[in-house]
Amino acid sequence: MVTTAPTRPGVRDGAAPVRHADPRRKVGMTFYLLLVPSLVLFTLAITVPAIMGITLSFTNSVGFGEFEFTGFTNYVALFSDPAILSSYGFTIGFALVTVLLVNIIAFLLAVGLTSKIRAKIALRTVFVLPMVISGIIIAYVFNFLFSNSVPQLGQAWGIEPLSQSLLADPDLAWTTIVVVTAWQAIPSALLIYIAGILSIPGEVYEAAAMDGASAGRRLRSITLPLVSGYVVINMVIGFKNFLNAYDIIVGLTNGGPGTATRSVAMTIFSGFTGGDYAYQMANATIFFLIAVVLAVTQLRLTRGKAAF
Amino acid sequence: MTAQTLLTTTPGQVPVRRRRWFSRTGRGGDEHPNWPGTIALLVCSLAVFAPLYATLTMAFKTTQQSVDGRVFSLPSPLSVDGFVEAWRLTDFPRGFGISVFVTAVTVFGTVVLASFAAYAIARNWDRPFFRGAFFYLLAAMFLPFPVLALSQVKLTGMVGLANPVGVAILHVMFQLSFSVMLFTAFIRGLPEELEESARLDGASTWAVFRRIVFPMMAPMSATVAIFAFLASWNDFMMPSLITADSTLQTLPVLQSVFQTQFSSNYNVAFASYLMAMAPAIVVYLFTQRWVMSGVTQGAIK
């Protein structure tokens, strides 16, 4: 935009006499042509499947052939199905733990990365790197590390729970998913915190330092309150993303051992093969409603943030 | 999401941000570098490097060395057998070609469709149809793929798109919300006088977009393109569910072969992982500025 600025006066000098007719009215067609392809494709690819899914959730369809409407039967069954309830329990619990871990680490890293450190750019580049690596592939790598290297370390250091593969432990397998998800999700939370911290005027810190506030005190009394809006945004975005957990779980435990780490997304996808297509559509609809609630929360929070 | 919140990336902000990202010491100058902080962060960075280091060294080991249990040892002798074998097993050129195809279509489609739509929306914001379209397109950002997956798999199968073309189209559609949002915010920050004077000179809307607006949007197009690239290149869920023919799978999906039949040839598996993740890392290293600013803009708007 900087480069085009000098040409502006030239263009204006050559301008035709002012016409008062709204120029937009005349060329409006082009605007419609620019927008309509996106709307049509979007409707076919997103809206139609969404409506189809919600409609089928009220039927007994198995994914093909004939079906009849069965009202809320699927929904009633969902709420008393231990497999579904445990997948929600696991997914929500995993998302809560991960979101806390991600935000604590990302915040501390952001504080470090905005302080007067050396090699700042190089370190930022490194800490953002996990974001660009495919979830399934890094999960395969960690799968190998958790089943080989971690047990070796556990044996060498005499730590009992680590001396066997965490992936095979029904009570602890979820921790591996938290670790790998956090590894990949920290960068985006970190970048948002960095932006938040950089938006605090430097004078605030200078004044505090002049009044003799220690670094810890400045962190607690200035940084933390002033980035609280970003904390909330990160929490909501993170929680929403972690609820969709799929790739990393497939690469690490594939829902096992048993069904200990089956996420909601994995249960929904079982509708392809399990013959309970409509039933999983109902599951997906419930899942969608949870996503809508979170989305509305996010919008309200971000709108609130833009206000100050 | 009001009009106010969309006024985000004014052109004036860009140079400021650029200076910040590239300043070596940030605020406060050079006098007292924080050495304990630097060292602590260097130690933390090992957590990022460890799995990548393991991938790199394992990939260059011989099969015998790769099963000796010492994951973090250096390869000796250095071997490229793993790459040769991985190349053959996953039919790498084909997988790579399909990944490139899907990603290229996604990047191109996203930049074109999103910039078109965003221009129409931003310049007709006062009209309910365009404003409504904006919120309609935005809605997908909150719609998780698992919710749509079963229907999308069925529909793509019905219309003959259970293949990489279908995957690319869906990738574009899922990128559209985020991208239209970024572009719209950017266009609303551009001065309108330039466009108006060009139009008074007789330029059509299309010419104004093509010659003036689109070139000015280059930084935002870069951000949108990189996010489309990363999302498409790394995706596993969508191609694995949509593409019916396993010989037409993208690289991330092809890696599952090492979870079963060749599970003891670790060097081969890791060589294959490395080949699949390397392009994204290389692109990131060259484009990190746009990656970093894109995350921030996407979240805080």
Closest CA to B47 of A109, A60, A156: A109
Averaged pLDDT score across all residues of chain B = 84
Is there a contact between A226 and A115 (Cβ–Cβ < 8 Å)?
no
Tell if the CB–CB gap between B51 and A277 is shorter than 8 Å: no
Instruction: Compute CA distances B250 → A200, A204, A272, B100, whole Å.
Output: 44, 51, 21, 9
Rounded average pLDDT over A80-85: 90
Asked whether residue A233 carries a pLDDT value surpassing 90, the answer given is no
CB of A274 within 8 Å of any CB in chain B? no
pLDDT score at B299? 65
Is there a contact between B175 and B107 (Cβ–Cβ < 8 Å)?
no
Q: How many CB atoms are located within 10 Å of the residue A213 CB?
A: 16
Report ipTM for this prediction.
0.84
Rounded average pLDDT over B106-120: 96
In chain B, count H helices and then E strands: 16, 0
Q: How many CB atoms are located within 10 Å of the residue B119 CB?
A: 25
Tell if the CB–CB gap between B194 and A287 is shorter than 8 Å: no
- Express each pLDDT in B214-258 by its tens digit: 999 998 999 899 999 999 999 999 999 999 888 899 999 999 888
Residue B249 dihedral angles phi and psi, to the nearest 5°: -85, 155
What's chain A's Rg over C-alpha atoms?
26
Residues of chain A neighbouring B172 (CB-CB closer than 8 A): 41
Under DSSP, the state recorded for B74 is P
- How confident is residue B31, by pLDDT bands cut at 50, 70 and 90? low
| Sign for the pseudo-dihedral over CA of A196, A185, B4, B171 | positive
- How confident is residue B261, by pLDDT bands cut at 50, 70 and 90? low
B266-300 and A173-198 helices, crossing angle to 10° = 40
Rounded average pLDDT over B92-115: 96
- How confident is residue B9, by pLDDT bands cut at 50, 70 and 90? very low
Give the amino acid at B207: A
- From B301's Cα to the closest Cα of chain A, the distance in A is 7
Residues of chain B neighbouring A191 (CB-CB closer than 8 A): 292, 295-296
Name the token pair of B143.
Answer: 């719609």
> E strands within B126-166?
none
- Express each pLDDT in B54-101 by its tens digit: 999 999 988 888 877 778 888 888 888 889 988 998 899 999 999 999
Give the amino acid at A198: L
Tell if the CB–CB gap between A121 and B24 is shorter than 8 Å: yes
Compute the distance between CA of residue B216 and CA of residue A129 in angstroms, rounded to an integer: 29
Instruction: Compute CA distances A115 → A111, A128, A215, B21, B190, whole Å.
Output: 6, 17, 11, 13, 33
Tell if the CB–CB gap between A140 and B72 is shorter than 8 Å: no
Is there a contact between A155 and B61 (Cβ–Cβ < 8 Å)?
no
Residues of chain B neighbouring A126 (CB-CB closer than 8 A): 45, 48-49
Q: What percentage of chain B reaches a pLDDT higher than 70?
A: 87
Residues of chain B neighbouring A129 (CB-CB closer than 8 A): 48, 52, 281, 284
Compute the distance between CA of residue A137 and CA of residue B274 in angstroms, rounded to an integer: 9
Q: Between A and B, how many residue pairs show a Cβ–Cβ distance under 8 A?
A: 325
Tell if the CB–CB gap between B38 and A195 is shorter than 8 Å: no
- From A201's Cα to the closest Cα of chain B, the distance in A is 10
Lowest mean pLDDT among A295-304, B70-79, B112-121, B130-139: A295-304
CB of A230 within 8 Å of any CB in chain B? yes
Neighbouring-strand partners of residue A59: A69
Tell if the CB–CB gap between A41 and B255 is shorter than 8 Å: no
Compute the distance between CA of residue A244 and CA of residue A185 in angstroms, rounded to an integer: 13
CB of A8 within 8 Å of any CB in chain B? yes
Instruction: Compute CA distances B217 → A148, B122, B205, whole Å.
Output: 49, 13, 16
Residues of chain B neighbouring A280 (CB-CB closer than 8 A): 150
Asked whether residue B106 carries a pLDDT value surpassing 90, the answer given is yes
Nearest to B194 among A8, A140, A285 (CB): A8
Tell if the CB–CB gap between A295 and B38 is shorter than 8 Å: no
Rounded average pLDDT over A155-161: 81
| Best residue in A25, A114, A129, A148 for a mutation probing chain B (most B CBs within 10 Å) | A129
Residues 27-46 of A with CB under 8 A from B: 27-28, 30-32, 34-35, 37-39, 41-42, 45-46
Tell if the CB–CB gap between B26 and A134 is shorter than 8 Å: no
- Express each pLDDT in A34-76 by its tens digit: 999 999 999 999 999 989 888 888 988 877 777 888 888 889 9
- From A125's Cα to the closest Cα of chain B, the distance in A is 7
Give the amino acid at A138: I
Q: What percentage of chain A reaches a pLDDT higher than 70?
A: 89
Nearest CA in chain A to B173: A42
- Report the predicted TM-score, pTM, of the whole model to 2 decimal places: 0.84
- Highest mean pLDDT: which of A269-273, B146-150, B278-282, B293-297? B278-282
Residue B71 dihedral angles phi and psi, to the nearest 5°: -65, -35
Which residues neighbour B18 within 8 Å (Cβ) at sequence distance 6 or greater?
B289
Residue spans of alpha helices (H) in A43-161: 48-56, 73-78, 82-114, 120-128, 135-144, 150-157
Asked whether residue A290 carries a pLDDT value surpassing 80, the answer given is yes
Which residues neighbour A22 within 8 Å (Cβ) at sequence distance 6 or greater?
none
- From A171's Cα to the closest Cα of chain B, the distance in A is 23
